[in-house]
Amino acid sequence: MFLNNNQIQEILNQVEKASAAILDIYQSADLEIETKKDNSPLTLADKTSHDILVTELKKLYPDIPILSEEGADIAYKTRKNWKYFWVIDPLDGTKEFISKNGEFTINLALVKDNQPIFGVVAAPTKDMVYFANQGSGVYKKENNNSPQSIKAKEKTNQKIVVARTRSHKNQKEELLISKLGQAETIHAGSALKFCLVAEGKADIYLRGGPTMEWDTAAGQCIAAEAGAKTYTIDGKPFLYNKESLLNPGLICTANPEILNKLGIPPPRWDKKV
């Protein structure tokens, strides 16, 4: 266990500070939308959240490098020898933020040796935060109540419940879902789909298209501590600090029978990809 309870609370306090700043902008008339080089939107909320989190992490952990979506231009030759690093998406679901459907999150994770070992996913509009520390469980805190332990489902009751994105569906997902028989679909933006699996509201999070490492690291850690594993669609381990920060499609589930239905072999966790 890398972080103790006091350190976790310090980080949660900074995430709460970033959440409050995002909400102030969300409720304002002008979101100050720009367009990045890849044609994706960027708002004042993305930049403000980034500044808050990066500034505080540098104060608390000056020796641990930071990889953030809004500061991701770090060469692989610099990154490849990192044993630990923070990976942050200061506003995951910018499209949801702009459309004002409330389904956006702050994602913050600590990665060690290609795997996330600490993760926070906060949903500012829902006053809700999920957090996990490797070896000490996963918790959901809502509406200023005490944190509650959560657990993923290892068995399916009747219909398999599939969590999917609202904004980036594709044919690969449709093909995989067709193998599951009678499945129910629930939609959610950002990293909340990992959290739905982690708290047993969905049996599987399925994503056919690509994501970036900052989209998935925190959610993967939360799901893992709840008992669910995250795989590539061809059943390989899902790893971080790759030469390309682009992820392949993914499957996150705690139910081995679902993998059987999809025809995915158990991955070799001792083999890097």
For residues 99 and 76, membership in a common domain is answered with: yes
For residues 144 and 181, membership in a common domain is answered with: no
What pLDDT score does 272 carry?
A: 44
For residues 144 and 215, membership in a common domain is answered with: no
What pLDDT score does 142 carry?
A: 95
Q: How many domains does the chain have?
A: 2
Query: Is the pTM of the predicted complex or chain greater than 0.75?
Result: yes
Tokens of 43: 């708002």
Residue 230 lies in a domain: yes
Residue 170, pLDDT above cutoff 80: no
Kindly report, residue by residue over 102-148, the tens digit of the pLDDT.
Answer: 889 999 999 999 999 999 999 999 999 999 999 999 999 999 899 99
Residue 155 lies in a domain: no
CB neighbour list of residue 163: distance below 8 Å, 6 or more residues apart: 185, 186, 187, 188, 193, 196, 197, 201, 202, 204, 205, 206
The domain boundary, picked from 115, 149, 183, lies at 149
Q: Which domain holds residue 135?
A: 5-149
Residue 269, pLDDT above cutoff 70: no
What is residue 144's three-state secondary structure?
coil
Quote the Cα angle for 127-131-137, to 5°: 135
Which has the higher per-residue pLDDT, 219 or 168?
A: 219
Residue 94 lies in a domain: yes
What pLDDT score does 273 carry?
A: 38
Residue 76 lies in a domain: yes
Return d(Cα 267, Cα 248) in angstroms, integer: 15
For residues 136 and 251, membership in a common domain is answered with: no
What pLDDT score does 267 carry?
A: 58
Residue 264, pLDDT above cutoff 90: no
